[in-house]
Amino acid sequence: MIAKFDASSGISRRQFIGGTFAAAAATSLPVFAANEPSTASSSTPAPAPRTEFKRKIKVGVIGNGGRGAWIAKLFKEHGGYELWALADYFPSAVDACGDELGVDRSRRFSTLSGYKRLIESGVDAVAIETPPYFMPEQSLAAIEAGLHVYMAKPVAVDVPGALQIEATGKLATASKRCFLIDYQIPTDPVNIEIVRRIHEGGLGRIAHVSTTGLSTGCKDQRKGPTIEDRLQHLVWVNDVALGCDYIGNFDIHAIDAALWALQERPVAAMGSSSIRRPEPYGDARDVCSLVYEYESGVVHSHFGQALKDNIDMTLCAAIYGTEANAMIEYTKRSFLRGGKLQDAGGQIKGLYKAGAERNIARFYREITGEQFENDTIRRSVDGVLACVLGYEAAARNTRLTMDEVLRANRRLEVDLTGLKT
The pLDDT tens digits for 54-72 are 899 999 999 999 999 999 9
- CB proximity list for 257: less than 8 A, separation 6 or greater: 185, 186, 191, 211, 315, 316, 317, 328
Residue 41 has pLDDT above 60, yes or no: no
What's the rounded Cα separation, in Å, for the pair 91 and 71? Answer: 18
User: pTM for this structure?
Assistant: 0.88
Compute the C-alpha angle 78/80/81, nearest 5°.
90
Residue 264 has pLDDT above 60, yes or no: yes
Cα separation values, 360 from 37, 136, 152, 330, Å: 32, 20, 11, 18
List beta partners, residue 124.
Answer: none
- pLDDT given at position 50: 60
The pLDDT tens digits for 273-294 are 999 999 999 999 999 999 999 9
| Residue 413 exposed, middle or buried by CB count within 10 Å (0-12, 13-18, 19+) | exposed
Comparing 219-228, 268-277, 283-292, 304-313, which segment has the lowest mean pLDDT? 304-313
What's the rounded Cα separation, in Å, for the pair 136 and 119? Answer: 15
Cα separation values, 119 from 11, 78, 86, 316, Å: 30, 21, 10, 36
The pLDDT tens digits for 149-205 are 999 999 999 999 999 999 999 999 999 999 999 999 999 999 999 999 999 999 999
Strand order through the sheet with 179-181: 108-109, 81-87, 57-62, 125-128, 148-151, 179-181
- pLDDT given at position 8: 32
- pLDDT given at position 310: 75
- pLDDT given at position 47: 53
What's the rounded Cα separation, in Å, for the pair 239 and 176? Answer: 35
Q: Which domains does the chain have, with CATH numbers?
A: 14-43+185-350+375-408 (3.30.360.10), 57-181 (3.40.50.720)
